[in-house]
Amino acid sequence: MPRAIWSGSISFGLVNIPVKLYTAVSKKDVRFNQIDARTGARIKMKRVSTADGEEVPYEQIVKGYEVAPDRYVLVEPEELDALDPKATHTIEIQEFTDLDAIDPIFYDSAYYVAPVKGTEKPYALLVEAMEREGKVAIARFVMRTKEYLAAVRPKDGMLLLSTMVYADEVVAPEELTDVPELNSVELNERELAMASQLIESLTAEFDPGRYRDTYRDKVLEMIDRKAAGEEPVTAPAAQDDDGAVVDLMAALEASVKEAKEARARHPSAKKEAATRKRAAKKAPAKRAAKKAKKSA
C-alpha cells in the first residue's frame, strides 16, 4: 500500500490546506543483477581511482564538477548545504492556467495530493473550483532539498501533482542534428485526404487498460520457465529491411482498408452492430404501437 512521501500544505492567496503526497506511478521495470558466470555469485562494484587503480575509501570521496578535460572544481557538502532551498512544507501556487496551454513535454513525475483528515471541505472546494474553471495550478515546492516546479490539476475528484522540467531543459527541435529539411516537402490534397481518413479510422476513446508492456510480460514468462527448468525459446531471426521505396498512396490505401477491417473485428464494433440490429427489430413494433395509440 502506497505511503505518503511528503507532507505539507497547498497555499494560494491566504488559504492553506494541509495535504500529503503519494506516488501516483509504480514502475514495473524488470531489473537484473550482474552475476559472475563462473560462480553464479553477484558482482559488487568498487570505487577505484583512475590514477592508480586503487580502491578509494568512502570517507576520501568528494564531489567534483568537471570544468575542462580532467580538471575538476571540488565542492564541499557544506557549500552545497548553504545553497539548498529553504526547507518549507508548502506547495505554493504561483498562478492558474489552462491545461492545454502546457505542452506535455514539460511533465515529469506524478503524485497524488491527498487531504489530511479534517481538511476535506477546503480541499474539495479547491478541486471543484478548478474543475469548473478548467484550470491547472502552477506551483513551486521543496522535496528532499530540491525545489520543483509543478502543475497541480483536478483528476477523479482529487488533485494530481506533476513535477515539471524547466524551459532550459527542453531540447529545441532546431538543436537536433542530421534531421532532413521538412519545410520544402510538397504534399498533395489526395495524400492528405487519405492520411486524414486513416487517422479517422484509427481514432478511438483512449483506454489505458487496453495496453500492456508485452516485452516485460515475455521477459517474466521466460524467467518463470527457466526457473522451472524449461529450455528457453529462441526467437526467429529478424527480417532485414530491403530498403525498397514505398508507394505512399498504396500504403495509405492498404492501411485504411486494414484499419476498417480490424475495427469491424473489434468486440466493441460487434456489440454496437448487435445493438443496432436489436433496435432495428424493435422499430416496426414501436411504430405499430405508436400508430395504434394515435388511432385510439
What digits encode the pLDDT tens for the residues 2-43?
Answer: 789 999 999 988 889 999 999 999 888 899 999 999 999 999
Torsion of CA 35, 41, 42, 48, to 10 degrees: -100
Q: Is residue 222 part of a domain?
A: no
Domain that holds residue 192: 188-201+252-290
Q: How far, in Å, CA of 213 to CA of 64, rounded? A: 39
Report pLDDT digits (tens) over 127-155. 999 999 999 999 999 998 899 999 999 99
Domain count, the chain: 2
Q: Is residue 153 part of a domain?
A: yes
Strand pairing report for 6-12 and 90-98: parallel
Say which amino acid occupies 40.
G
Same structural domain for residues 14 and 161? yes
pLDDT at 62: 94
- Where is average pLDDT lowest: 101-105, 263-267, 278-282? 278-282
Q: Which helix (H) or strand (E) holds 80?
A: helix 77-81
pLDDT tier, 286 (very low <50, low <70, confident <90, very high otherwise): low
Q: Is residue 213 part of a domain?
A: no
Dihedral sign from CA coordinates of 227, 233, 234, 235: negative
Same structural domain for residues 19 and 90? yes
Same structural domain for residues 89 and 137? yes
Report pLDDT digits (tens) over 222-271. 889 888 888 877 766 666 655 555 677 888 788 888 888 877 776 665 56
Tell me the CATH number at 91: 2.40.290.10
Same structural domain for residues 158 and 108? yes
Same structural domain for residues 126 and 195? no
Same structural domain for residues 16 and 123? yes
Q: Is residue 245 part of a domain?
A: no
Same structural domain for residues 17 and 119? yes
219 Cβ neighbours under 8 A, 6+ residues apart: 30
Q: Is residue 296 part of a domain?
A: no
Same structural domain for residues 272 and 161? no
Say if CB 90 and CB 8 are below 8 A apart: yes
Q: Is residue 208 part of a domain?
A: no
Whether 89 has a pLDDT exceeding 80, the answer reads yes
Q: Is residue 11 part of a domain?
A: yes
Total-model pTM: 0.73
Same structural domain for residues 196 and 117? no
Same structural domain for residues 279 and 193? yes
Q: Is residue 270 part of a domain?
A: yes
Q: In the predicted model, what is the mean pLDDT of the chain? A: 86
Structure letter (DSSP) for residue 33: -
Same structural domain for residues 257 and 148? no
Q: Which helix (H) or strand (E) holds 199?
A: helix 189-201
Same structural domain for residues 12 and 131? yes
Q: How far, in Å, CA of 161 to CA of 159, rounded? A: 7
